[in-house]
A and B are shown apart, each in its own frame.
Chain A
């Protein structure tokens, strides 16, 4: 039986839960969001990724109702919510600072939103208990926010924002305040809770690893625009611009000029006296067009002797970054360019075959890199 893949964005019959339609937001002269159009589907875990100041938080705050778009429309379930105040939309937000009410207990914090709906006491109690169970906080129900740890606070914030069963949950850098180990566990917990509740999540983050771990799709933003929306694997393997390739993970960028040598195959000239590099590309380039070849370090192999490979370059090891499980070799080529190659440390460090100042060969296949125009 074929497994159905969750990909509503590929299904033209699917209607999106949220639709940004040419949304622009200006603060005075500054354009924070520049004509953004994007569809987000129900049950998605959608990540807005970008460096600080790229507009990702503004975009999220417009979904929450804390900013109104200067131009364009925001649709939520077929309704224009551009000017609906935050308390009138079926959207809840988990704040970066968690924004837990310090004068209320964990229980009262979670019940806060439910009480505003004037529900029955029993119903509120039942819902709060359910949320406490979901986030494993039963033991701390009576504590005040400053009486619990950072990780527990994060879970209270999540429980509080999920209590009203919103159509859409916004998470603003939800794991920013946690330490690395706790962060990893919490990422998986978030995905788990998202799947259990079936809520649509939109997360804002500047941490690409976090976005890749949790999201069904990632939107990479730069200066108020979305530069690419794709699934995490496609963002990583098939970036559409040097900016995206560079922002997501580690990458070697080799600049040159392209000339076609066959169907979807190009030779890249990248400096006098060097053999051209061969790369396959579905994107077409004209003769002599400037291009950038982006290759991930883990797709570059390192050898002591000249290998039998389509693309091979010679250089000297300048630096070795030892990361425990991996080592990244910074290899300086003849022209001064540095290419990074990554190898898994399958042997003990004492047995490592390369060291500083070694002359080595680097190689990669014609499908290892992505040829980019910009």
Chain B
């Protein structure tokens, strides 16, 4: 192993400090006994307890999760369909325009997306609430899903679908029994991407949320304006914890699949 030089150590610690110092401070202060955010007064889990009894935060969290699940599910279905059409149907009139339009929201400023959705909802007289946030999140996250899924579909051997048709499948059966299981990892990561995008979206949600429904990012942002409370620190620590667990699980799963693939290759080599 190469020895760590002074330069390496410095750049490594600087890099990590830059990334994680703010979060570490946040986590430490979430266990602060004092109500004052910047004054350390000993270890306590008091704010976690208070958080659990704060109905406004719990409501917002519940709304956020519901919105994220619904919007990412709808976005995954729509995004996968769009990707399938763009990759599979070959050249149809207006394909370039259509594919451009699917990907445009990726680069569209969120403020504009949010504003135009707001105008639309007002125009058709739709009361703002959970439904409007779900619709808005679906709109902007489906293009992310379609990017992820279409890149997988592009490398997908089309003769697999033809083989399924050849063996007696209808178009839909071929998609359900062959295409979908094979592209499932891309569809799942598309869903996760849409889910995270929806979880932490502030801009679009604040345009489309109504008094009846507030998401967690909006709630956090608005309560910060009244001063940072230790409860927010506690809430953020929980969120960091959830994300960390998710990342660890994902990397373990990846590692396992790599190991399994290696074992398969060995098996194939032995089969020769």
Contact = CB atoms under 8 A, between A and B. Distances in A.
A144 B271 CA distance: 12
A147 interface: yes
Contact of A112 (B162, B167, B170): B167
B17 to A, nearest CB: 44
Contacts of B163: 93, 95, 99, 101, 160
A41 interface: no
Given A97-B157, A116-B173, A147-B264, A87 B182 contact: no
Interface size bracket, B side: 20 to 34
B23 interface: no
Contacts, number: 76
B271 A147 contact: yes
Given A93-B166, A147-B264, A101 B160 contact: yes
Interface string A113-155: 1001100000000000000000000001001101111011000
A144 to B, nearest CB: 7
A87 B267 CA distance: 34
A102 B160 CA distance: 9
A87 to B, nearest CB: 5
Which of the listed residues B162, B166, B170, B177 has the most CB atoms from chain A within 10 Å of its own CB?
Answer: B166
Which of the listed residues B169, B265, B271, B272 has the most CB atoms from chain A within 10 Å of its own CB?
Answer: B271
A113 B168 contact: yes
Contact of B166 (A87, A101, A148): A87
B268 interface: yes
Chain B interface secondary structure, helix, strand, loop or mixed? helix
A148 B268 CA distance: 4
Contacts of A102: 182
Interface string A88-110: 00011101110101110000000
Given A146-B264, A147-B267, A113 B159 contact: no
Contact of A86 (B166, B178, B181, B268): B166
Nearest to A64: B166
Contacts of B162: 64, 66, 86, 93, 95, 99
B165 interface: yes
B114 to A, nearest CB: 40
A13 B116 CA distance: 75
Interface size bracket, A side: 20 to 34
Contacts of A103: 181-182
B163 to A, nearest CB: 4
Nearest to B267: A147
A152 B272 CA distance: 8
Contacts of A116: 167-169, 173
A206 interface: no
Contacts of A87: 165-170
A150 to B, nearest CB: 8
B157 A92 contact: no
A149 B167 CA distance: 23
Which of the listed residues A65, A99, A113 has the most CB atoms from chain B within 10 Å of its own CB?
Answer: A99
A117 B271 contact: no
A161 B177 CA distance: 17
Nearest to A61: B162
Nearest to A66: B162
Interface in B142-167: 157, 159-160, 162-167
Nearest to B157: A97
B172 to A, nearest CB: 11
A85 B169 contact: no
Nearest to A146: B264
Contacts of B170: 87
B204 to A, nearest CB: 36
Nearest to B263: A147
A85 B157 contact: no
Interface string B243-272: 000000000000000000000110110011
Nearest to B269: A149
Contacts of A140: 271
Contacts of B173: 116
Contacts of A330: none
A148 B267 CA distance: 7
A306 B159 CA distance: 60
Contacts of B272: 149, 151
A147 B261 CA distance: 9
A164 interface: yes
26 contacts: A64-B162, A65-B165, A66-B162, A66-B165, A86-B162, A87-B165, A87-B167, A87-B168, A95-B159, A95-B163, A96-B159, A99-B160, A101-B160, A101-B163, A103-B182, A112-B167, A113-B167, A113-B168, A116-B173, A146-B268, A147-B271, A148-B271, A161-B166, A161-B167, A164-B167, A164-B168
Interface of A: 64-66, 85-87, 91-93, 95-97, 99, 101-103, 112-113, 116-117, 140, 143-144, 146-149, 151-152, 160-161, 164
Interface of B: 157, 159-160, 162-170, 173, 177-178, 181-182, 264-265, 267-268, 271-272
Given A101-B163, A160-B167, 4 more contacts: A65-B165, A93-B166, A95-B162, A147-B271
Top 6 nearest A-B pairs by Cβ distance? Answer: A113-B167, A116-B168, A99-B163, A99-B159, A149-B272, A147-B267
